[in-house]
Amino acid sequence: MSAEKDGSRPAASAQKIIVAIDGPSGAGKSTIARHLARHFGLLNLETGAMYRAFALKALREGLSLDESAGPESLAARTTIRLEPGEEHNRVLLDGEDVTALLRNQTVTDAASRVSVFPAIRAWMVRLQQEMGAAGGVVMEGRDIGTVVFPEAEVKIFLDAAPEVRGLRRYEQLGAKPEVQPAEVIREMRARDERDRNRADSPLRPAPDAVLVDSTHMTLEEAVRAAEEIVAAKLATV
Ligand code: DC
């Protein structure tokens, strides 16, 4: 029985571990990270939300995202904090709760664009390392197992075929008549391409990550697979 169902406290070892979840968008990272956090009593930190919050500020200030100078000087006068939330983390941008403003297409695209700049990444990585330093976290993103916490006890790389990920994203958006599935898939591919091919910390599995391909799984099955990977690790620490 799970810790959340029988009300038991998670094992002491679970309270210290770092679980890194990386992979492209639509692979199920958020759902899985959220479940693992509840199940094992860990703090869930969504690093993509930090890039999104910074992108929102850059958009608000009308910065060009084609060069790094503007975003870099903006970073020097920006604070970003994550707090536990219901479905997603609560995100505080310079103290303002911007959680509800981060999931539209404009911010999504801008987040991918600002995340190519090395100085922005170095700043984010430092913040994320501080947030996870005490352990007891599930951290979700693109470079957690490779750059942020290469020594994480558990690393899971989640993937799925682009068409499957695109359709999941389309359904998450609430199947609006003005949005076509093909368009969602195309935008997602463009973003993936940028995330996988950037020079600094491209999206790729850490050599010691466990790969979970959810193309032919339900999200529920992928959640169970991830849960088993963490449980197996906990049994050895
Ligand atoms: O996970 P997400 O879709 O919220 O992430 C938004 C963008 O941020 C994504 O296109 C790539 C970038 N990102 C990143 O480069 N590194 C991370 N650790 C998390 C997100």
Lining residues, ligand 1, CB within 6 Å = 25, 47-49, 51-52, 111-112, 115, 141-143, 191, 195
Which pLDDT does position 111 carry in this prediction? 96
Which pLDDT does position 73 carry in this prediction? 96
Best probe residue, ligand 1, of 18, 51, 101 (max atoms within 8 Å of C-beta): 51
For the chain, which domains are there?
Answer: 16-234 (3.40.50.300)
**Cα–Cα separations (whole angstroms), residue 231 to 11, 86, 193, 225, 228:** 10, 24, 33, 10, 5
Q: Which two tokens stand for residue 58?
A: 């850059």
Looking at the DSSP bridge assignments, the partners of residue 43 are 137
Length of the chain: 237
Measured distance CA(120)–CA(133) in Å, rounded: 20
Closest C-alpha to ligand 1, atom 10:
112
**Closest Cα partner for 116 from 79, 62, 77, 68?**
68
Which pLDDT does position 172 carry in this prediction? 79
CA of 12 to the centre of ligand 1 (A): 31
Measured distance CA(105)–CA(35) in Å, rounded: 25
Low-confidence ranges of the chain (pLDDT < 70): 1-14, 175
Closest C-alpha to ligand 1, atom 13:
48
Best probe residue, ligand 1, of 44, 101, 112 (max atoms within 8 Å of C-beta): 112
Closest C-alpha to ligand 1, atom 18:
141
CA of 195 to the centre of ligand 1 (A): 8
Which are the contacts of 174, defined by CB distance < 8 A and separation ≥ 6?
none
Measured distance CA(45)–CA(37) in Å, rounded: 9
For helices 29-40 and 219-234, angle between their N-to-C axes, nearest 10 degrees: 40
Which pLDDT does position 10 carry in this prediction? 54
Name the amino acid, one letter, at 151. Answer: E
**Closest Cα partner for 89 from 37, 165, 152?**
37
pTM: 0.91
DSSP assignment of 89-121: -EEEETTEE-GGGSSSHHHHHHHHHHTT-HHHH
CA of 225 to the centre of ligand 1 (A): 23
CA of 23 to the centre of ligand 1 (A): 9
* φ, ψ at 158 (rounded to 5°): -100, 135
